[in-house]
Chain A
């Protein structure tokens, strides 16, 4: 669990604090997304947690310990750190990059070696192929997979991720988001995730903190933020299409009704399709009804346009 209390960062010679009395509690095992327009203090807040920036006031507690009283270097070795530009060490192989923190912690070679293979497999890179390559041999997406593997190396309970998928093409980004969610479902890290992309925030976040001018405007679950924006700023920030964004939070499976007979030309949907994509399919087929199938093609249920309406309206 991470608790920020009255956290403030004021740079000398500036009128307004970059981070202004932020108080947040991030439960263990959850992903908290910090989002807001540029200059809102989201990255500064994240960098205060591992003390890459020293706070001017307030406290940061990590699993009940006040981090300002810990040795900064020691602290950072226990926190996974992923940045947009990845920052792989170009003179070291992929294996050596991943081994960074284990080596700093003095792990023996056999244990480190085993861990490298485990992590490469976790991020879907074949160990035999990638271990001895250098960062320049990798694509942007592969580099960021290694970046995530490197951050997870010593199995830190907390991860800080600063726009980790921001510099990656949209198709690869979606894949990496999916993979990270799969990894997170298994590992249950406490994650602080900075982004400026609301769709990403909704996909990745268990909770979203919307920041503006160094303050938290709203801190809530994605569903609640989309259904009940706290003020005009949040409403504008989440956009006119927030009903559609809400739909992307739900799968067809969670809203479908029992199997019924449908027209031959009604859309066929997989159970894990989002309601947003389901709506698109219904509109495209000019249909009120879609059939939900399992991977083998057996009918699981039906989805009515009304079900989609209800979900969008928050019912």
Chain B
């Protein structure tokens, strides 16, 4: 309890530092998630129709998924150096697999009879993707975005190790100086941010589920 109070006092005493760290954390996460989504969703849509492409993409993504977040950051550093950009890059890599896998799965899971009916009625390949497959795949697709978002927000704590800033700065400093209150200043908001992200994206996911599919 004492520690929490001390942590709270620390925030009140350093509002600018805390605000900056929180801001960097959110911007870094949002940038990484946005970039990953912009790459993985179109890629997933394109490869979903090709059996071999989908297999390749999903396997590659699964390998990417097994890499520890810290290892990804460490591997990026020698190439891109330190700061915001390499952290952004590394976190984007972290966010790609779940979005790609779920986009692919969502598109491929659409009932074959529904697609056959759409083709048979004269929808073009493009119309089938945008009017039928994508709306039906959206809940699964967005579940991937949600997973990625939580991973990125959690993973962003590690950006501190390569100078990316964010709430991880308080944790690394807290560990280095054996200052538990300062460690908590990073750890507790980071945890709340992850939980909040999961909750928020869960709400969005429900909103994106077509009414005809809601349970």
For B127, the chain A residues whose CB sits under 8 A away are 104
Interface centre among A77, A78, A91, A136 (most CB of B within 10 A): A91
Q: Interface size of A by Cβ–Cβ distance < 8 Å?
A: 30
- Residues of chain B lying within 8 A (CB to CB) of residue A73: 122-124
Closest to B111 in A: A87
Instruction: For A75, give the chain B residue with the smallest CB separation.
Output: B122
Are A76 and B212 closer than 8 Å at their CB atoms? no
Verify A86–B117 contact, CB threshold 8 A.
yes
Within 8 A of A (CB), among B120-164: 120-124, 127, 132, 135-136
B211 close to A134 (CB less than 8 A): yes
8 Å CB interface, A241-263 against B: none
The contact of A83 among B113, B123, B210, B211, by CB within 8 Å, is B113
Cβ B117 vs Cβ A83 within 8 A = yes
- A221 contact set on B, CB distance < 8 A: none
Look across to chain B and name the residue whose beta carbon is closest to the beta carbon of A151. B121
Q: Which of B117, B121, B127, B136 has the most A CB atoms < 10 Å from its CB? A: B121
A313 at the interface (CB under 8 A from B): no
Residues of A within 8 A of B (CB): 50, 52, 73-79, 81, 83, 85-93, 100-101, 104, 134-136, 147, 150-151, 160
Of the A-B pairs whose beta carbons lie under 8 Å apart in the complex, a sample of 24, sorted by A's number, is A50-B120, A52-B116, A52-B120, A73-B122, A73-B124, A74-B122, A75-B122, A81-B121, A83-B113, A87-B111, A87-B115, A87-B118, A89-B117, A90-B114, A90-B136, A90-B212, A91-B135, A91-B212, A91-B213, A104-B122, A104-B127, A135-B212, A147-B117, A160-B120
Which 8 pairs between the two chains have the least Cβ-Cβ distance?
A87-B117, A77-B122, A91-B210, A76-B122, A134-B212, A81-B120, A85-B113, A87-B113
B interface residues (Cβ-Cβ under 8 A, vs A): 111, 113-124, 127, 132, 135-136, 210-213
